[in-house]
Structure 1
Amino acid sequence: MTQTAPSPVHPVQQRYGDPSTEVPAQWNPVLQVLHDHKSVRRYLPDPVSPETIRLLVSAAQSAASSSNLQVWSVIEVRDPARKARLAEVAGGQEHIVQAPVLLVWTADFARLRQLADDHGAPLDGADYLESSYVGFVDAALAAQNAVVAAESLGLGTVYIGALRNDPERVAAELHLPEHVFAVFGLVVGHPDPAEGTRVKPRLPQAAVLHQETYDLPGQRESVAAYEERIGEIYSEQGLPFSWTERVLARLASRASLNGRDRLRESLAARGFRLR
């Protein structure tokens, strides 16, 4: 008796870890790349060319920018010793050293302040929280464009938020001038197939997509279903905690922030006054 092979799981179903998720009628290669995203933490030694990095930055610069201020910059780090020192800041994450390139994305107001000085123009509006917020948002939008571009080329990536563990040390390492703040890093390289990373399911849309008004109590059932679904993956990976335990532990105390409780002071020290 011939057995029928099971139908492949659609990328949208894979993203939610739920084969009952409705398959969309619309689809294209861009949507495929977006839904296939996964963090990569093991890399091959194969190099990533400068030309490829320039293409990723071009994609990054194609992202939206508030008022076209373009208040971000990125530092390409290839030197093994420098990557090793930055890896120490990030708690010893080996993939920072293992991958050929670390991109450090910054909120950058030094460029505009220099422009204002050159023209004898005031720039008092840059001292307000709103302006700093724009710098962080623009850096994130740009970096995500770079991630999609990298993955469309078969490269792997993983964000390194832990560079904020010690912003002063990162600034000294990268010779950042005042008014430039390292928001996060992004590892770029060729994924090691031996890692066997799989797409990590996200919360059901019923927990994050609201119609007209926000509904908090209505999320409980969806969150509980997600807890069970992702718990199976954590179990396969040998992880000892549930999703709920992990997220609550991440925000349980000041100590769990690993130095990032000093962020306001660090921003002030870098010239971000946050009025």
Structure 2
Amino acid sequence: MNPVIETIMNHRSIRQFEDRLLTDEQIHTIVQAAQAASTSSFIQAYSIIGIKDKEKKKRLAELCGDQSYVARNGHLFVFCADLHRHELIGQMEEVDVLPSLESTEKFMVALIDATLAAQNAVIAAESMGLGICYIGGLRNKLDEVSQVLKTPARVIPLFAITMGYPLQESSQKPRLPLAHVYHEEEYEQDEWRTKEQLAEYNKTIQDYYTERAGGKRSDTWTSQMANMLSKQSRMYMKSHLEEQGWNKR
């Protein structure tokens, strides 16, 4: 196994960091690694906003649901889907690009581009001995987040990534078995087999939580997912996206 694969396989979320900021050189290297990711048709439909200011971090932490590690880290990156520059391109070239920019397809392209860039950034950071944590809570209150970040129309903050020097190691959660995720030739639709695999995975997760929490926790993955999915969250998203010029066609 080579060092790149070892870095990927060793991934875990880190939520406590040393009081130590990343250097500008580290930040630039991480961003350049993000930019090296694949991008659909060379569209590069994303932007990255770096946050150093303590007060901004604190405010974003509040908007993310009072997640303390959003305020205390080595650096905070916000990954945005961005078609703002492409609207400007249309103006520069005197071409009507708005129908394309408002399409579901370009919305998906921007999401995928931003996510590919983010994962490149994460692998680069972890290869440098840094820890990371993705922050989806950034989407809890996008109006307020956009105000803090001063993002224009056609720019959507998707998620943040906290990075820094790990204060302590965290355990690695067992992922779904390969046989449950990887399908050959066609999608496996044997529901009995799928449920059997999920039941086996539940046992793995129960053992993980029992050991991690000293017997005080033993919930299963399916119970976690069912509980989460039974509650509606961020249901404002569709209207917010349309107001910002996204996903209208």
TM-score range for the pair, normalised by the shorter chain length: over 0.9
Aligned pairs, number = 243
- Among 204, 212, 217, the alignment partner of 1:229 is 204
Cα contact 2:207–2:218 (8 A) shared by 1: no
- Percent identity between matched residues is 35
User: 1:192 & 1:236 partners in 2: Cα distance?
Assistant: 21
Q: Any conservation in 1 of the 2:20–2:74 contact (CA below 8 Å)?
A: yes
Distance in 1 between residues matched to 2:44 and 2:208, nearest whole Å: 39
Measure how far apart 1:253 and its partner are.
2.4
1:147 Cα shift? 0.3
CA distance in 2, matches of 1:273, 1:38: 33
Q: Could you tell me which residue of structure 2 aligns to residue 248 of structure 1?
A: 226
SS of residue in 2 equivalent to 1:143:
helix
Listed as ranges, the matches of 1:1-275 within 5 Å are 27-123=1-97, 124-193=99-168, 196-216=169-189, 217=191, 218-238=193-213, 239=217, 241-254=219-232, 257=233, 260-275=234-249
Unaligned runs of 5+ in 1: 1-26
1:83-121: CA deviation from partner (whole Å, max 9, x where unpaired): 111111111111111102110000000111112112211
Tell me the distance in 1 between the aligned counterparts of 2:58 and 2:15.
15
> CA offsets per residue over residues 126-176 of structure 1, 9 Å max, x none?
111000110011000000000000000000000001111111111110000
Q: 1:210 offset after TM fit, Å?
A: 1.1
Cα deviation, residue 242, structure 1? 2.3
Q: C-alpha displacement at 1:273, in angstroms?
A: 4.1
Residues 191/228 of structure 1: CA separation in 2 closer, same or farther (3 Å cut): same
Contact 1:129–1:273 (Cα < 8 Å) also in 2: yes
Q: Give the equivalent residue in structure 2 for 1:16.
A: none
Q: Is the 8 A contact 1:206 1:219 kept in 2?
A: no
Q: Check whether the contact 1:155–1:190 (CA below 8 A) recurs between aligned residues.
A: yes
Matched-pair contact (CA < 8 Å) for 1:204–1:223: no
Distance in 2 (CA, whole Å) between partners of 1:170 and 1:266 is: 13
State the secondary structure of the residue aligned to 1:266.
helix
| Secondary structure of the structure 2 residue equivalent to 1:31 | helix
- Is the contact made by 2:57 and 2:70 (CA closer than 8 Å) also made in structure 1? yes
Structure 1 position 56, deviation (Å): 0.6
| Structure with greater Cα Rg | 1
TM-score (norm: length of structure 2)? 0.94
Give the whole-Å Cα distance in 2 for the aligned partners of 1:49 and 1:241.
41
Three-state SS of the structure 2 residue aligned to 1:75 is strand
C-alpha RMSD of matched pairs (Å): 1.2
TM-score normalized by the length of structure 1:
0.85
In structure 1, what is the Cα distance between the partners aligned to 2:63 and 2:212?
Answer: 26
Q: Distance in 1 between matches of 2:90 and 2:186?
A: 43
For 2:170 and 2:92, locate their aligned partners in 1 and report how far apart those are by CA, in whole Å. 50
| 2-structure distance, mates of 1:38, 1:246 | 19
